């Protein structure tokens, strides 16, 4: 379980809001947030010294924990695969949609204890990679036969328990999945674990609110500061009336939605509404700074500019989007228009901020034939620009603000091992460039989450026990 809060951390090198600093002393409040942070200090007795390069922890703003159980299992070509030279874009063959059917089959066996074991393993992996919070877009609500559990919040409670075991900050996003497709199509058998009518969903939301935000103050659980938001799954799964009812019942807190991930989804939305998904959402739901539009891959130039102007965060999941063949987010135009983004590991084909940020930039390079596309101007570090943007956007979208190592922010610190050959003789922003573009070995040596030293010298305090439960769960699932 989480170790007690130490009185202070001493960071010989740290990235603060004002830039790189030396000899930083950081003290924590009992709620896991930063009380004070000051550079040029001596290390007092009792402070925990964390040598290396200290960064603020990053938010993972999009996760489906159950998909960790099938990471890497969707790579064998299916019977419709046309083979090299025969399958242009849009041709029949393996696609997001065939992967989704495989995912539905695989998760049918996940009962609550197995799900918790998978989620705890995932959250430990996230912390060890440098993510200190996770926004769990949680739609696996019901039993495999589609009936609600005796406690309708059973599976959500497993998310809370897994996050508490790992010590990761949590934004819980219960997902409303009201239909199987555009036009209110009924859910298929593979979707019956996900589906609520609006009244059933609002009862779940009320229960989760009582659990995470008890009247009279802070939640008293082992996990400080759980943020509760809502997630209409997508425009295909949430008809307009249901979306309006959901938003009326959730007047504050984060709102996350999948949108415009696939060309077929755009075509279906156009056929149904006469508008593209992002266009429809901007016109009818008026997303603002508390919204996160996940993927938003397929946008026109006008949609890209309008989304940037809305203040909503684009939730980018570059490794999953690459793995599923989704397409390339128009990041350069979006950033040029002042847009905000964060990163998520989504399907968990990779659990690493390094890979998400690297592939975000690399996709732009491959598409444009240029380098340092997202650096933001002459002389600027690409790694620093990507890190700063993902930190600010991810923290905002997760509702954990303020971002960074500042008083009042979450005491989330990730310390890179500067004695590793990949980081030797690196300083300042070159540390971020080398971590993100050359960090092909684990370089996260220490992690502090909500003030607790959860990863020390590359090891998570609970990793052995969590890995044992995960191994047993995977054996059961493979039977």
- When CB distances to Zn ion are compared, the closest residue is 346
Catalytically annotated residue among 233, 295, 446, 453: 295
Q: Is 295 a catalytic residue?
A: yes
CA-to-CA distance for 447 and 234, rounded, in angstroms? Answer: 34
Beta bridge partners of 294: 258, 315
The CB-of-172 to Zn ion minimum distance in angstroms stands at 15
Judged by beta carbon, residue 258 or residue 290, the one nearer Zn ion is 258
Nearer to Zn ion, 26 or 293 (CB): 293
* 8 Å CB contact between 349 and 68: no
Q: Least distance to Zn ion from the beta carbon of 233, Å?
A: 9
Distance CA(350)–CA(352), nearest Å, equals: 6
Q: Which of 94, 268, 326, 346 is catalytic?
A: 346
Binding string, residues 249-288; x marks residues near Zn ion by CB under 5 A: ----------------------------------------
Q: CB 395 → Zn ion: shortest distance, Å?
A: 19
For residue 453, give the H/E element and its range: strand 452-456
SS (H, E, C) 94-149: CCHHHHHHHHHHHHCCCCHHHHHHHHHHHHHHHHHHCEEEEEEEECCCCCCCCCCC
459 and 453 Cβ atoms separated by less than 8 Å = no
> How far apart are CB 21 and Zn ion at their closest, in Å?
37
453: β partners = 448
Q: Which residues pair with 314 in a beta bridge?
A: 293, 341
Nearer to Zn ion, 5 or 294 (CB): 294
Closest contact distance (angstroms) between CB of 256 and Zn ion is 9
Q: Contact at 8 Å (CB) between 257 and 293? A: yes
Pair 11, 24: CB distance under 8 Å: yes
* Site mask for Zn ion (CB under 5 A), range 343-382, x = bound: ---x------------------------------------
* Per-residue x/- track, 317-346, Zn ion (CB under 5 A): -----------------------------x
| Smallest gap from residue 230 Cβ to Zn ion (A) | 15
Taking the C-alpha atoms of residue 207 and residue 209, their distance in angstroms, rounded to an integer, is 5
Say how many residues touch Zn ion, by CB under 5 A. 1
Sign of CA dihedral 186, 190, 194, 200: positive
CA separation for the pair 253, 290 (Å, rounded): 7
Residues with a catalytic annotation lie at: 295, 346
Q: Which spans of this chain sit near Zn ion (rule: CB under 5 A)?
A: 346
């Amino acid at each position: 379980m989480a170790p007690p809060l130490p009185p202070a951390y001493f960071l010989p090198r740290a990235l603060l809001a004002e830039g790189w600093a030396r000899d930083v002393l950081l003290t924590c409040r009992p709620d896991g947030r930063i009380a004070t942070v000051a550079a040029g200090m001596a290390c007092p007795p009792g402070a925990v010294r964390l040598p290396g390069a200290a960064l603020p922890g990053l938010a993972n703003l999009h996760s489906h924990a159950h998909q960790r159980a099938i990471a890497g299992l969707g790579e064998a070509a299916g019977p419709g695969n046309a083979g090299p030279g025969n399958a242009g874009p849009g041709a029949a063959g393996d696609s997001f949609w065939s992967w989704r059917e495989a995912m539905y089959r695989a998760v049918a066996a996940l009962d609550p204890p197995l799900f918790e074991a998978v989620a705890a393993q995932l959250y430990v992996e996230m912390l060890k990679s440098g993510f200190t919070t996770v926004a769990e877009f949680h739609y696996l609500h019901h039993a495999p036969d589609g009936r609600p559990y005796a406690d309708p919040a059973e599976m959500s409670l497993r998310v809370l328990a897994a996050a508490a075991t790992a010590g990761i900050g949590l934004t819980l996003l219960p997902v409303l999945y009201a239909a199987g497709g555009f036009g209110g199509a009924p859910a298929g058998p593979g979707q019956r674990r996900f589906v609520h009518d609006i009244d059933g969903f609002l009862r779940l939301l009320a229960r989760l609110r009582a659990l995470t935000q008890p009247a009279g103050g802070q939640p008293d659980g082992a996990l400080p500061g759980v943020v509760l938001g809502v997630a209409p799954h997508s425009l295909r799964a949430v008809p307009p009336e249901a979306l309006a009812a959901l938003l009326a019942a959730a007047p504050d807190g984060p709102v996350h939605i999948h949108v415009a991930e696939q060309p077929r989804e755009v075509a279906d939305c156009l056929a149904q509404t006469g508008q593209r998904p992002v266009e429809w959402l901007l016109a009818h739901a008026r997303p603002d700074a508390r919204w996160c539009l996940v993927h938003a891959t397929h946008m026109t130039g006008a949609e890209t500019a309008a989304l940037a102007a809305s203040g909503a965060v684009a939730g980018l999941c570059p490794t999953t989007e690459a793995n599923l063949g989704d397409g390339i987010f128009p990041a350069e135009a979006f950033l040029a228009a002042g847009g905000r983004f964060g990163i998520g590991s989504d399907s968990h084909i990779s659990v690493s901020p390094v890979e998400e940020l690297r592939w975000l930039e690399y996709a732009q390079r491959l598409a444009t034939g240029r380098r340092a596309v997202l650096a933001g101007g002459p002389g600027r570090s690409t790694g620093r620009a990507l890190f700063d943007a993902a930190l600010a956007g991810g923290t905002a979208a997760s509702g954990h603000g303020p971002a960074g190592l500042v008083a009042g922010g979450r005491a989330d610190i990730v310390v890179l091992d500067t004695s590793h050959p990949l980081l030797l003789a690196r300083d300042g922003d070159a540390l971020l460039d080398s971590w993100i573009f050359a960090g092909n070995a684990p370089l996260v040596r220490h992690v502090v989450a909500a003030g607790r030293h959860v990863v020390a010298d590359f090891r998570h305090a609970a990793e052995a026990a969590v890995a044992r439960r995960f191994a047993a769960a995977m054996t059961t699932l493979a039977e």
